[in-house]
Amino acid sequence: MTQDTDTRSLLELSDALASGDTSSLALTEAALSRIAAVDSALNSFITVDEEGALQAAQAADARIASGDAGPLTGIPIAHKDIFCTEGLRTSCGSRMLDGFTPPYDATVVERFREAGAVLIGKTNMDEFAMGSSNENSFYGPCLNPWDTNRVPGGSSGGSAAAVAAGLVAAATGTDTGGSIRQPAAFCGITGLKPTYGLVSRLGMIAYASSLDQGGPMARSAEDCAILLQVMAAHDPRDSTSAKRPLENYRDQLQQPVEGLRIGIPKEYFGEGLDSGVAAVIEAALKEYEALGATLHEISLPRTALSIPAYYVVAPAEASTNLSRYDGVRYGHRCENPSDLEDLYTRSREEGFGDEVQRRILVGTYALSSGYYDAYYKKAQQVRRLIAGDFASAFESVDVIAGPTTPGVAFELGSKTNDPTAMYLEDIYTLSVNLAGLPAMSLPAGFSNGLPVGLQLIGQHFDEARLLATAHQFQQRNDWHRKTPTMEASS
């Protein structure tokens, strides 16, 4: 039988709660029922916290009844399993942390709890956020709800699949090189990677500290604006957190597109871009022209260098961050080690998957004596040049647009034996992280029955303009409202 899904927006759910048409308990029970019915076919959740969710829903209903409710109060959401949650397993998709229960909440989790959102559970992900397909999870791959023979993208694939399938209305993700935007594109939802530093990284398990950034994943730009309103705030406990005035992103969604200068990088439309994806993106750009925007060809000449630069910088930082998992303090510990070296070696060998081990080795090599200047230092110099390319482009345009990914969601297993081919999936997203810019992916249509994402890139801390640009597009079409048909398990 077909499982009913709730496709209402966050605003619609909030209005229904405020009017008494439904309750948080009813929404939560319905979400838990949907997850039980269909998630065995998707594997989008690692942990479902039924008891905690029902308790939070009852507390939210009391808060709504007292008149102390915000836009997210009582609404079930999910967190990527990279955010620490007090008293609830946080695995980061790895055997290394399979038994880890944090004693504190990440700042992002803390802020959602304060807003009254109901945490349903923790979503599947590539181990330690290393991957572009969600096939690197210790708990097995998450599957794409549009075609379960295909990947949902990574590393935030579980969050994207859960939202696309209607299991929850919204979820959090993290983006180190495209890990919010790429799965959002593959699953036909909206995902925003904020400016580096806008969202606190405290309690978000580190992959590459100078690149990692948490962000919202939902059906629409309006929903992402509501979520970002909660997520974006200075955190004095995070030294990389930007100290900026709070913005009301939802109030700025009506900014007109008329007169907006949209830059089209010629490097994003060359060899490697699927023709079906190109046709969808070109049609979306025509819609922006109809709204009064102007299109301008620009050049980001070092786009191709983003892949080698990223895959030196990110593994180098990962090598440092993951050195703490040694079998001594916390994380997986091997059985009966013969000595300290054996403890370190076997604990890490057993706890980390192949892709994580590969990136640790690459990163350690790049940081080693005699190679630091040749690789890591050079990659950081290229990173600065990439940021300069964007700065030059933004002198003449307001927003940059293009495809999020070169193709639609690919088949499971089709790239697992070819890491280079997998890395090329991120060609249009990596440079944004290297430059620390905000960017988002929004549904723009379909190619061969699968979703295609349009990527919008903005200047530092220009999330309000990005969200408004996406919102105006979504007022003209309903691509973001399309939902895959999910069959309930027998």
| Closest to 221 in 3D by CA, of 463, 30, 489, 485 | 463
The residue from 91, 155, 159, 200 that is catalytic is 155
- Structural tokens at position 101: 């229960």
Query: Which entry of 80, 122, 193, 415 is annotated as an active-site residue?
Result: 80
Asked if 218 contacts 10 with a C-beta cutoff of 8 angstroms, the reply is: yes
Question: Which token pair is 39?
Answer: 């998630």
Q: How far is the C-alpha of 251 from the C-alpha of 194, rounded, in Å?
A: 18
What is the maximal distance between C-alpha atoms in the chain?
Answer: 70
DSSP for residue 83: B
What is the distance between the alpha carbons of residues 410 and 147, in angstroms, rounded to a whole number? 10
Given the residues 137, 179, 241, 431, select the one marked as catalytic.
Answer: 179
Crossing angle of helices 275-290/463-474, nearest 10°?
90
Q: What are phi and psi of 360, to 5 degrees?
A: -60, -45
SS3 content of the chain, % helix, strand, coil (to 5): 40, 15, 45
Strand, coil or helix: what is 290? helix
Handedness of CA 193, 199, 204, 206 (dihedral sign): positive
What's the one-letter identity of residue 153? Answer: G
Has 431 been annotated as catalytic?
no
Torsion angles phi and psi, residue 442, rounded to 5:
-135, 150
Whether 80 is a known active-site residue: answer yes
Neighbours of 276 (CB within 10 A): 16
347 is catalytic: no
Render the burial of 236-256: b for 16+ CB within 10 Å, e for the rest: eebeebbeeeebebbeebeee
Structure tokens at 260: 């907006």
Q: Is the peptide bond before 24 cis (omega within 30 degrees of 0)?
A: no
Cβ(443)–Cβ(452) under 8 Å? yes
Active site residues: 80, 155, 179
